[in-house]
Structure 1
Amino acid sequence: MGGLSKPGCDLPEALVLEILSKLPVKSLTRFRSVCKPWFSSFQTPFFITKHLHNNNHLNLLHKGFCGDTRDGVYSFSQLSTEKGRNFSVKENFHLPFSGKGWSDLVVDGPCNGILCLELGDGCDKAVLWNPSTREFKILPQPPHSTSFDFLSLGFGYDSQTDDYKVVRFVVNYFEEDSDAGSMFEHNYQVDLYSLRSDSWKEISYPGVEPYDLPPFNCYINGVYYWHATQSSAHLILSFDMVNEKFSTLPLPQSQTSEGFYSHLLDFNGLLGAIFYPVEGTEKSFDLWVMNESWTKQFSIESVPGVEMLLGFWKTGELFIESLDHQLVLFDPSTRELKNLGIHAPKWSMQITAYVESLVPINARSEHEGRIIISRPARN
């Protein structure tokens, strides 16, 4: 770390490091050219971890879709969180991914500022992306049969080995000859990817089938949680990234998945589940929290014009997709609904809050990967 305070100041190196670790990634990227010691220090695991712990400012990413539903491209926008900006678009990103339609790509995470982008519906790709450093990595293909259906994916961090892992469920189809002739059979397969080794391995199938609903599933403190079914019963499936073990837990007893949407979420480090009805133009929300057992935390009554809940903001507001597929902010304390002026096709929108991070993913930069970044024109 010698020479950290070199550029024209007599401050102790530890203090300089502490100050720098609280700056946004964009500033640190510029400061890399100040001197070689700074450039080197910003890449050390010590500084990357310190920056992650010292940076609690949340960024907001909006995922949508540009173009028609067959030939369009996925779009990502960073929304401004500055006071008075009303979550206006700050930057646009257009990643070089395409698919058969707007429902193909979903976002898992975040985990230490990293997102996992899941391209389904025949694309069968998973992509790690750090939107702060603009790095992305298309994961290698895992081993599988020639005929398969992608089911679901989970993403998280193993703190013991400092490794990022992706869990992938597929169902394999194969032809089997019998006395009655050829028949198609199937089996389930679970693959686990390690970023550290950049490889997949097969792990045991837990006997529970997760839903392919990443916007409704979540990652919390080393554990990924899915909605799942077992013998037609609805429950929650979890995977511990450290011990690589699955387990299950029930939904709140007074709730079923029939006729209700259910979102799993991080509620102050605990597993939360929020329920609201599928039908109706006015919807009420019930939040339950798991702390040894399920406890109902609060209810929000009769919010009009709701198609789907997209997420919570840190001050308690709800991001909502309206019935006409606009992004709307609802403040439960004032009952105010504010249209944020962003539209996307039905079910294509996602809102993800993430912290800025220098965590490397051994990936291509935005220039190598041709990620296009644009800033909206100022009025």
Structure 2
Amino acid sequence: MRMMRGLFLPNHIICEILSWLPVKSLLRFKCVCKTWFNIIQDPEFITIHMVRAPCSWVYQSTYNENSCANFTFSTYWQGLVLERNNSTNAYRLRNPATRQILDLPCPPSHQNIIYINIFFIPKTSDLKLLNISCLQEEGDIHTKRYNILSINDLTWKYVDSTSCDPTKFQVRKLHAETKFYLFKLGLVGDSYFDCLDLENDRITRDIKIPRKLFLDWKNVHALNWKDGKLALACIDQKQQLNLWILEDDKKNKWAETKITISLTFLKDYPSMSSQNIIPWTVKENQIWWYHVTDDSQDIFVFDIESREVDFQTSPTTKKKILYIDKPSLTYIKGMHPETQKVKCSEK
């Protein structure tokens, strides 16, 4: 039978088909031909593929009681997980899907770390790590030190520090796009927030929050709202979620009216209350929550329109941590294949 010549698929059709396949298959298909290799390596294709990839709920850590190279999960971004070496306190970025890693230098202060996260800076196409350590000074004053690592040059630098008395303030930490926010919610007096812009590594301190937003500030939480905005939220006695949206952090402009959402699902779950459920982000028309108990920390999603609730229970084994992300082809310059054997440091 004679082969038909000239049959081909346009690149955009090939791209469309490949974008629906799992990462494992795409890694093999990079060897098919140069065209496919270039398509799969293209940043635009990687973005499209990640949007279509199924959500991954459970992260399998590399914990091994018989190994001195144990890593624990810290945070994640675009298919990459940030892990800390329990022996050396060094960090690494790892793509679990492609098994590629990037070793990072130890932060200048690896003790009393209270926060570490990944930020993408579009203007410079740089990834930055923000590390915050807490040092207790005289009395009850806690000083928080900000250190930033640029993935472009793999260098940590000290940015600034801020002080807070935990007996007078509740501290809430939140990030949105290229900014980090430290909310200091007054238990008695006024409330403030600091804003660190990681585009220029500058911090603006003690921006006053209107006291009138809430009558009781003890159970107020900060969360990511729609369109990259932030919100402060609190559940009242009527089982309603009250939200105040921060319209402009530079001008300290808050919405003129609050948003009220009836939490109808609470009547069906007696174990839940304002004391153990925490709103942390809004995606599309859904509010994502943590449900914290003595045994676990679960995630559930509340659909604002349908009022339906979807639960994801945290794994019982310490080898697994519940987190939300998608498998991707994301690659950072300098990444290399993950090795199975790790040389232990001498003790």
- The TM-score range, normalised by the shorter chain, is 0.5 to 0.7
Gapped runs of 5+ residues in structure 2?
Answer: 1-5, 66-70, 167-171, 343-347
Question: Who is 1:260 aligned against?
Answer: 219
Partner of 2:122: 159
**Equivalenced residues, count:** 304
| Match for residue 331 of structure 2 among 350, 354, 359 | 359
Residue of 32, 35, 58 corresponding to 1:34: 32
Retained in 2: the 8 A contact 1:136–1:364? yes
Q: Is the 8 A contact 1:116 1:128 kept in 2?
A: yes
Residue deviations 1:100-133, cap 9 Å, x none?
A: xxxx9664453x443445689x985544343443
Residues 16 and 337 (structure 1 numbering): CA distance in 2 closer, same or farther, change over 3 Å? closer
1:297 to 250, 259, 262: 259
- 1:114 pairs with 2:74: no
- Does residue 108 of structure 2 align to residue 139 of structure 1? no
Tell me the equivalent position of 1:196. Answer: 152
Q: 1:344 to 1:191 in 2, by over 3 A?
A: same
- Cα distance in structure 1, aligned partners of 2:114 and 2:165: 7
User: Which blocks of at least 5 consecutive residues in structure 1 are unaligned?
Assistant: 1-7, 63-76, 78-91, 99-103, 175-184, 371-379
Contact 1:219 1:225 in 2 (8 A): yes
Cα pair 1:155 1:224 within 8 Å, conserved: no
What aligned pairs does 1:251-290 form with structure 2 within 5 A after superposition?
A: 251=209, 253=211, 254-255=213-214, 258-276=217-235, 284-290=240-246
Displacement after TM superposition at 1:333 (Å)? 4.5
Q: Once the two structures are superposed, what CA deviation does each residue of 1:146-204 show, in whole Å capped at 9, x if it has no partner? A: x9532433420122221101122235689xxxxxxxxxx99754321011112212223
Q: CA deviation at 1:357?
A: 4.6
Aligned AA (1:244): D
Q: Per-residue displacement from partner, 1:320-340 (whole Å, max 9, x unpaired)?
A: 426574745545555555555
Q: Give the 3 Å change call, closer, same or farther, for CA 165–19 of structure 1 in structure 2.
A: same
**What amino acid maps onto 2:62 in structure 1?**
L
**CA shift in 2, pair 1:350/1:285, >3 Å:** farther
- Using the TM superposition, give the Cα deviation of residue 316 of structure 1 relative to its aligned residue in structure 2, in angstroms: 1.9
Label 1:363 to 1:313 Cα distance change in 2 as closer, same or farther (>3 A): same
Q: 2:277 aligns with which of 308, 315, 335?
A: 308
Q: Name the residue aligned to 2:62.
A: 95
Please give the alpha-carbon distance, in whole angstroms, between the structure 1 residues aligned to 2:290 and 2:337. 32
Contact 2:185 2:217 in 1 (8 A): no
Could you tell me how far apart the structure 2 residues matched to 1:31 and 1:148 are? Answer: 44
Greater RCO structure (CA 8 Å; 6+ sep): 1
The correspondence for 2:176, drawn from 220, 223, 227, is 220
2:50 aligned with 1:48, yes or no? Answer: no
**Structure 1 residues 217 and 128: alpha-carbon distance in aligned structure 2, compared to 1, 3 A threshold:** farther
- Paired residue for 1:240? 197
| C-alpha distance in structure 1 between counterparts of 2:94 and 2:165, whole Å | 24
C-alpha RMSD over aligned residues: 4.6
- Residue pair 1:25, 1:358 contacting (<8 A) in 2 also: no
| Partner secondary structure for residue 56 of structure 1 | helix
Please give the secondary structure, in 1, of the residue aligned with 2:112: strand
Q: If each structure's strand is expressed as a fraction of its own residues, which one has the higher value?
A: 1
Q: 2:186·2:217 contact (CA, 8 Å) conserved in 1? A: no
Looking at structure 2, the residues matched to 255 and 58 of structure 1 have their Cα atoms a distance apart, in angstroms, of 40
Corresponding residue number in structure 1 for 2:8? 10
Identical residues among aligned pairs (%): 18
Q: SS where residue 46 of structure 2 aligns?
A: helix
3-state SS of paired residue (1:28): helix
Instruction: Supply the distance in 1 between the matched residues of 2:15 and 2:34 (Cα, whole angstroms).
Output: 14
Partner-residue secondary structure (3-state), 1:268: helix
- Further displaced range: 147-156 or 228-237: 228-237
Q: CA–CA distance in 2 between the matches of 1:188 and 1:364?
A: 34
- Superimposed CA distance per residue, residues 235-260 of structure 1 (whole angstroms, 9 cap, x where no aligned partner): 33332222121225454641388421
Answer yes or no: is the 8 Å Cα contact 1:274–1:287 preserved in 2: yes
SS of alignment partner, residue 51 of structure 2: coil
Q: Is the 8 Å Cα contact of residues 243 and 260 (structure 2) preserved in structure 1?
A: yes
Asked whether the equivalents of residues 220 and 266 of structure 1 are also in contact (C-alpha less than 8 Å), the reply is: no
TM-score with structure 2 setting the length:
0.65
Q: 1:221–1:151: structure 2 CA closer, same or farther, 3 Å change rule?
A: closer
The answer as to whether partners of 2:79 and 2:95 remain within 8 angstroms in 1 is yes
Task: Report the CA distance shift for 1:349/1:301 in structure 2 as closer, same or farther (over 3 A).
Answer: farther
2:278 counterpart SS class: strand
Letter of the structure 2 residue corresponding to residue 221 of structure 1:
E
Take 1:300 and 1:337, find their aligned partners in 2: how far apart are those partners? 13
Asked if the contact 1:158–1:164 (Cα under 8 Å) also holds between the matched residues in 2, the reply is yes
Change in CA separation of 1:349 and 1:143 when aligned onto 2, cut-off 3 Å? closer
The answer to which of 220-229 and 236-245 deviates more is 220-229
CA contact (8 A) 2:31 2:37 kept: yes
